């Protein structure tokens, strides 16, 4: 495993430069001289849709690292904060008129139809669990019930989220039969109450500890267990989808992400951890061929 810890010492300007270089490098695809400069083998263009793990402004993200470290050209439709439900079906509408807007998945599928990419990268589910949603999975400690609403977790992840993923698989397959989907399941995190800061300003999060505190789940071990159960249940669902669908490939990142050392806040990894995660995703892509 490569050592990317030097990336964690980057300031905001260095992060921005890394992102810009990845985009510039991508624009060089098709230019033989520039290929030799970047010393990457020519690889097919990929299409991506996801949340902040594919679109993280304050730091690097998986798309940045796949572009810069592995030489992929990626048409990225990701948006920080996006939900699984919105990405697969569309939930947005115009305020006032209540007119529904075209879901981004329509644009994504048109691009997949045009490019017929070997790989479609997908990142989703985190925002359907964390943030305002997280409290719905928890019981208040004063009820003396189990801190987790296990039946609700089972229903949401293994029925609702699974149906979203199955419908996504079908949509992609109907559009381009040769396209494989590669999707990760996040990793174990510590609900420390840290949110997102950029250039000294805090503007998002935290997403886990507020709900735990509101439900008076204050013991650190209980907090960790609650988050672990959610993540593990989600990963197991994705693993089963992988086993049942030859064109769907799940990447388990839990073993390479340390819940105490690899996070810059409750939902986002340090630069070095994103780079290691991108390496593992790249390994899966190369195995697909």
Evaluate whether residue 102 is within a structural domain: yes
Q: Give the pLDDT confidence score for residue 28 in this predicted structure.
A: 60
Whether residue 120 is predicted with pLDDT greater than 50 in this model: the reply is yes
**CATH number, domain containing residue 104:** 3.40.50.1110
Average pLDDT over residues 195-207: 65
Percent of the chain with pLDDT over 90: 82
Determine the angle formed by the axes of helices 162-175 and 104-115, rounding to 10 degrees: 40
State which residues form the domain around 50: 46-288
Q: Give the pLDDT confidence score for residue 44 in this predicted structure.
A: 66
pLDDT tens, 219-249? 999 999 999 999 999 999 999 999 999 999 9
Evaluate whether residue 272 is within a structural domain: yes
Q: Give the pLDDT confidence score for residue 193 in this predicted structure.
A: 74
Q: Give the pLDDT confidence score for residue 214 in this predicted structure.
A: 97
Evaluate whether residue 255 is within a structural domain: yes
Q: How many domains, in total, are found in the chain?
A: 1
pLDDT tier, 24 (very low <50, low <70, confident <90, very high otherwise): confident
pLDDT tier, 34 (very low <50, low <70, confident <90, very high otherwise): very low
Evaluate whether residue 271 is within a structural domain: yes
Evaluate whether residue 5 is within a structural domain: no
Q: Give the pLDDT confidence score for residue 35 in this predicted structure.
A: 46
Whether residue 186 is predicted with pLDDT greater than 70 in this model: the reply is yes
Token pair belonging to 143: 């009820």
Whether residue 152 is predicted with pLDDT greater than 50 in this model: the reply is yes
Evaluate whether residue 207 is within a structural domain: yes
Average pLDDT over residues 182-203: 79
pLDDT tens, 1-13? 899 999 999 998 9
Q: Give the pLDDT confidence score for residue 192 in this predicted structure.
A: 87
Q: Give the pLDDT confidence score for residue 202 in this predicted structure.
A: 57
d(CA 202, CA 110): 36
Evaluate whether residue 15 is within a structural domain: no
**Assessment of whether the complete model's pTM goes beyond 0.85:** yes
Evaluate whether residue 27 is within a structural domain: no
Whether residue 262 is predicted with pLDDT greater than 80 in this model: the reply is yes
Q: Give the pLDDT confidence score for residue 195 in this predicted structure.
A: 63
Q: Give the pLDDT confidence score for residue 256 in this predicted structure.
A: 97
Average pLDDT over residues 86-90: 96
């Amino acid at each position: 495993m490569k050592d990317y810890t030097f990336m964690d010492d980057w300031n905001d300007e260095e992060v921005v430069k890394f992102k810009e270089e990845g985009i510039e490098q991508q624009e060089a695809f098709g230019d033989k001289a520039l290929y030799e400069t970047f010393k990457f083998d020519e690889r097919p263009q990929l299409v991506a849709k996801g949340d902040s793990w594919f679109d993280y402004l304050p730091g690097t993200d998986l798309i940045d690292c796949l572009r810069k470290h592995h030489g992929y050209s990626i048409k990225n439709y990701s948006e920080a904060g996006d939900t699984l439900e919105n990405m697969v079906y569309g939930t947005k509408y115009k305020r006032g008129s209540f007119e529904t807007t075209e879901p981004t998945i329509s644009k994504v599928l048109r691009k997949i139809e045009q490019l017929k990419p070997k790989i479609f990268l997908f990142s989703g589910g985190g925002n359907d669990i964390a943030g305002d949603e997280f409290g719905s999975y928890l019981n208040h400690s004063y009820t003396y019930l189990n801190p987790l609403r296990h039946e609700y977790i089972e229903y949401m992840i293994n029925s609702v989220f699974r149906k979203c993923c199955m419908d996504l698989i079908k949509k992609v397959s109907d559009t381009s039969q040769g396209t494989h989907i590669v999707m990760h399941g996040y990793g174990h995190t510590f609900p420390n109450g840290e949110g997102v800061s950029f250039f000294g300003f805090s503007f998002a999060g935290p997403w886990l500890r507020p709900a735990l505190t509101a439900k008076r789940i204050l013991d650190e071990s209980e907090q960790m267990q609650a988050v672990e159960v959610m993540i593990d249940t989600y990963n197991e669902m994705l693993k089963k989808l992988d086993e049942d669908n030859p064109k769907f490939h799940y990447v388990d990142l839990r073993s390479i992400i340390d819940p105490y050392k690899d996070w810059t806040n409750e939902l986002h990894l340090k630069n070095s951890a994103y780079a290691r995660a991108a390496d593992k995703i790249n390994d899966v892509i190369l195995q697909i061929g």
